[in-house]
Amino acid sequence: MVPDARNTASLTYAAALRILPAAAEEAERLGVAVCMAVADSGGNPLAFGRMDGAPLMSAKIAQDKAYTVVAFNGLPTHRWYDMIADEPALLHGIVHTDRLVIFGGGMPVRAGGELLGAIGVSGGTADQDRAIAEAGAAAVTGRSSRKP
Distance CA 100, CA 64 (A): 7
Distance CA 99, CA 101 (A): 6
In this structure, is residue 146 part of a structural domain?
Answer: no
In this structure, is residue 27 part of a structural domain?
Answer: yes
In this structure, is residue 98 part of a structural domain?
Answer: yes
Domain count across the chain: 1
Task: Note the pTM of the prediction, 2 decimals.
Answer: 0.91
In this structure, is residue 102 part of a structural domain?
Answer: yes
pLDDT at 143: 63
First to last CA, the chain: 38
> What CATH number is associated with residue 81?
3.30.450.150
Residue 127 lies in domain: 13-140
pLDDT at 144: 56
pLDDT at 1: 67
In this structure, is residue 147 part of a structural domain?
Answer: no
Of 20, 10, 11, the closest CA to residue 120 belongs to 20
Task: Identify the burial level of 37 via C-beta atoms within 10 angstroms of its C-beta, where 0-12 means exposed, 13-18 middle and 19 or more buried.
Answer: buried
Q: Phi/psi of residue 36, each to 5°?
A: -135, 130
In this structure, is residue 49 part of a structural domain?
Answer: yes
Per-residue pLDDT of the chain (148 residues; tens, 9 = 90+): 688 988 889 999 999 999 999 999 999 999 999 999 999 999 999 999 999 999 999 999 999 999 999 999 999 999 999 988 898 888 888 887 889 999 999 999 999 889 999 999 999 999 999 999 999 999 998 765 444 4
